[in-house]
Amino acid sequence: MGGGNAGSTVSEHPELATALVLEDAGMRGGGARRPNAAPGVTRSIFAKHLELVEADLSLEEMTAKIDAMSPGQPEYYAEWKAECLLQMDTEIMRGTVDDTRRGRSDPAEILAKIEVPVLFMQADPNSGGINTDEYLAETIPHRDNFTVKKIIGAGHNINREHTELLWPVVTPGLEGLAQ
């Protein structure tokens, strides 16, 4: 949820950023919808996660439950997800479940307001990325300050799962900003 929140924040408060790097950001809202985000799927996942958080489980207990809920994930996944959930604001999770969360604006409108350089790293939809080429073509502004780089073979959590694929994309962009 960080990418969508970062994009919204920079669009409303441009003075807070000199550049923006978005990692397979799940921009949501009233405009174009990600085709692979079936209605209700996100809320269903968040509902299960919210139940775990509200059960007041220890890290170990939550890790075991997530491991059972998520077969086929890498070995590190359950503990990492449990750590993330234990740090999340339950009101944000509840707002997603209840569909009352703020930020229902059109993602294309949000991104169109951003004037700083933006690097949007698109994870591979065939590997778990949440943004298709078609969705991004409708959503990302066609301006010089926006660059989209698709990371083939990387799922949604590029920085966690494929750091070796992330750095060759991010480093040149950051070096260009430093000059």
15 and 78 belong to one structural domain:
no
> Which of the listed residues 54, 69, 98 is the one where a domain comes to its end?
98
Q: Identify whether residues 128 and 162 lie together within a single domain.
A: yes
* Boundaries of domain holding 61: 41-98
Element (H, E) at 148: strand 146-151
Q: Is there a single domain that holds both residue 168 and residue 117? A: yes
DSSP state of 14: G
| CATH code, domain carrying 116 | 3.40.50.1820
Q: Are residues 117 and 159 in the same domain?
A: yes
Mark whether 118 and 158 lie in a shared domain: yes
Task: Quote the number of domains for the chain.
Answer: 2
Indicate if the alpha-carbon torsion angle 85, 67, 23, 130 is positive or negative. negative
pLDDT string in tens for the chain (179-residue length): 678 778 888 998 999 999 999 999 876 654 444 444 444 445 577 788 899 999 999 999 999 999 998 887 778 889 988 998 998 888 777 876 776 665 556 888 989 999 999 999 999 888 888 889 999 999 999 999 999 999 998 888 888 788 888 888 888 867 766 55
Please report how many Cα atoms fall inside a 13 Å half-sphere around the Cα of residue 171, on the Cβ side.
6
28 and 111 part of one domain: yes
Q: How far apart are CA 81 and CA 66, in angstroms?
A: 8
